[in-house]
Amino acid sequence: MRKTQLLIALAAVGFAGSAFATNGYFSHGYGIKAKGMGGAATAMAHDTFGGANNPASMVWVGDRIDFGADLFSPRREFSSTAGISVKSDSNYFVIPEFGYNRMLRPNLSLGVTVYGNGGMNTDYSFSGVNYLGGNGDLGVDLIQLVIAPTLSYKMNEQHSVGISPLLGYQRFRAEGLQGFGVVNPGHDDSTGLGVRLGWMGRFSDAITVGASYASKMRMSKLDKYDGLFAEQGDFDIPSNWSIGVGLQASPRIKVALDYQRINYSDVKSIKNASANIFNCPFFGGADPTQCLGRANGPGFGWDDVDVWKLGAEYQYNNKLSLRAGVNHGDNPISGTDVTFNILAPGVVKTHLTLGFTYVTAGGGELTMSYMHAFSHDVSGDNLLGAPVREKIKMYQDAIGIAYGWQM
């Protein structure tokens, strides 16, 4: 009962905290150890975040528990050649994480991973009419929490498979969009389901390979925003997959490399071009299905994203491990969609990370990580026809801390 109450409490904190925007709006990594290695984790089995990375890894972890949190600081800015320049006021967010694993048999484990999948948050201060024609402050708040029960099975001494049903919750709010018929309805919630599958193979003492696939999470509609998001308020979580390799390069050095694909094109409210709005009869077009909220209505115009994650771990001594990594992903936003993406400027591409784990006197592991995402910007013409150029810009920092132990 206490474990159940703890899990519910962590989930409640997660509802209030997620505000990622790194690889598109997915996190650059899951688990503080992975975050110190650029997010590379598909072929690694060093904590209980397999439900977010690769379910097949959990059977190699043993009986273990992990708690952690990231202090995430995204800095967003919008400017135009009309002389407008404004920065988002919301700059700090706490992102919790939790994992638990129990060996049922030597070749079978059952665990759970609780993590923030992603999200978007902007908060631009305006007095009077804002930049998108609404009244007052302008911005959005999207959080997504996933609870992933995980069953992992070791087929033999080299290979394992795993499955994680994904139980999703998201919460969304938009303000300042009265110019598009959205009159500050406040927060709305939705829930949904998906699944993550994984495989891991240990081909020698030095080489491990992993693969993981997460289906699209089909979320219930955000009814208060059925006149904003395509398909009457639909905002599913896109599918994604990854492959990775881990190399024990020497007795003290591990190297991990992941490739991840995030399929934002799965979700019309994310992928549809913002210019679809001009095909709506209200704006002089002839296709009512491309009006706001309709089946082919305008979205953020995001492309699918390819992400490369490279990390290294150095075992300094029997107490201290040091980590470093780089994460490079595509920018999903093109210049033709800059105007709508004032609300969601997820344009950063390159992240550098550092981290360490220290084994305490009691045998627990204290882990910390740091991430810096370098500033990147995208410019384009104003979507609504004003003779101005616009620019969205972002950089990020994050520092995380976790504590875990074998039970």
Over residues 253-277, the pLDDT tens digits come to 999 999 999 999 999 999 999 999 9
pLDDT band at 20 (very low <50, low <70, confident <90, very high): low
Q: How far is CA 163 from CA 5, 111, 154, 262, in A?
A: 24, 11, 12, 19
Question: What is the band of 21 on the pLDDT scale with cuts at 50, 70, 90?
Answer: low
CA distance 1 to 7: 10
Which residue segment(s) compose the domain that 229 sits in?
A: 2-406
Q: How many CB atoms lie within 10 A of CB 206?
A: 12
Residues 381-393 have pLDDT tens digits of 999 888 999 999 9
The pTM of the whole model exceeds 0.85: yes
Query: Per the structure, how many domains does the chain have?
Result: 1
Please give the residue that has the higher pLDDT: either 50 or 18. Answer: 50
> pLDDT per residue over 95-111, tens digit each?
899 999 999 999 999 99
Q: Which residues contact 294 (CB under 8 A, 6 or more apart)?
A: 230, 231, 232, 280, 288
Average pLDDT, the chain: 92
Identity of residue 42: T
Contacts of 298 (CB under 8 A, 6+ apart): 230, 272, 273, 274, 275, 276, 277, 290, 292, 340
Of 312, 265, 274, 386, nearest to 33 by C-alpha is: 312
In CATH, what number is assigned to the domain containing residue 378? 2.40.160.60
Cα-trace Rg, the chain: 22
For 287-298, the pLDDT digits (tens) are: 999 999 999 999
In angstroms, the CA 90 to CA 70 distance is 16
The answer to whether residue 191 scores a pLDDT higher than 60 is: yes
- How does residue 282 score in pLDDT terms, banded at 50, 70 and 90? confident
What pLDDT sits at residue 12? Answer: 41
pLDDT of residue 120: 73
What average pLDDT does this structure show over 223-248? 96
Query: What pLDDT was estimated at residue 118?
Result: 67
Q: Which residues pair with 254 in a beta bridge?
A: 248, 313
Average pLDDT over residues 21-47: 94
